[in-house]
Amino acid sequence: MKIGKISNEELRNHVFKNIINKRKEVLVSSEIGIDTAVLDLDDDLVVISIDPITGSTKDLGKLSVNISCNDVVCGGAEPVAMLMSILLPPTATLDELDEIMRDAEEECDRLNLDIVGGHTEITDAVNRIVVTTTVIGRVSENELPKIKDINDDDIVAISKSIGIEGSSIIYKEKMNELEGVLSLEEKSEVNNFSNMLSVVKEAQIAKKYNVKYMHDITEGGLYGALWESAQVVNKKIIVDKELVPIKKVTGKIADFYGLDVYRLISSGSMVFILNKNDYEEFRKKSALEGIEITKIGEIKEGSGFFVKDGALEEITNTTVDELYKVV
Q: In this predicted structure, what is the pLDDT of residue 35?
A: 63
Average pLDDT over all residues of the chain: 93
Closest CA to 160 of 295, 307, 294: 294
236-240 and 304-309 as β-strands: parallel, antiparallel, unpaired? parallel
Q: What is the mean pLDDT of residues 280-305?
A: 98
Q: In this predicted structure, what is the pLDDT of residue 102?
A: 96
Q: Is the pLDDT of residue 38 over 80?
A: no
Classified as helix, coil or strand, 193 is helix
Q: What is the pLDDT of residues 246-275, one digit of tens each?
A: 999 999 999 999 999 999 999 999 999 999
91 to 59, 60, 132, 278: CA distances (angstroms):
18, 16, 19, 52
For residues 157 and 270, what is the distance between their CA atoms, to the nearest angstrom? 8
128 to 55, 96, 239, 307: CA distances (angstroms):
10, 11, 38, 38
Domain ranges of the chain: 4-143, 147-325
Closest CA to 202 of 79, 74, 38, 62: 74
Q: What is the pLDDT of residues 129-150, one digit of tens each?
A: 999 999 999 999 889 899 999 9
Q: In this predicted structure, what is the pLDDT of residue 33?
A: 64
**Burial class of residue 84 in the structure, from the number of CB atoms within 10 Å of its CB (0-12 exposed, 13-18 middle, 19+ buried):** buried
CATH superfamily to which 4-143 belongs: PurM-like, N-terminal domain (3.30.1330.10)
DSSP string, 223-242: HHHHHHHHHHHTSEEEEEGG
Closest CA to 227 of 168, 274, 297: 297
Q: What is the pLDDT of residues 80-133, one digit of tens each?
A: 999 999 999 999 999 999 999 999 999 999 999 999 999 999 999 999 999 999
For residues 109 and 104, what is the distance between their CA atoms, to the nearest angstrom? 9
For residues 172 and 160, what is the distance between their CA atoms, to the nearest angstrom? 20
Q: What is the pLDDT of residues 180-232, one digit of tens each?
A: 999 999 999 999 999 999 999 999 999 999 999 999 999 899 999 999 999 99
> Which ranges of 133-262 would DSSP assign to H, the alpha helix?
164-173, 184-191, 200-207, 221-233, 248-257
Asked if residue 318 lies in contact with residue 227, where contact means CB atoms within 8 angstroms, the answer is yes
CATH superfamily to which 147-325 belongs: PurM-like C-terminal domain (3.90.650.10)
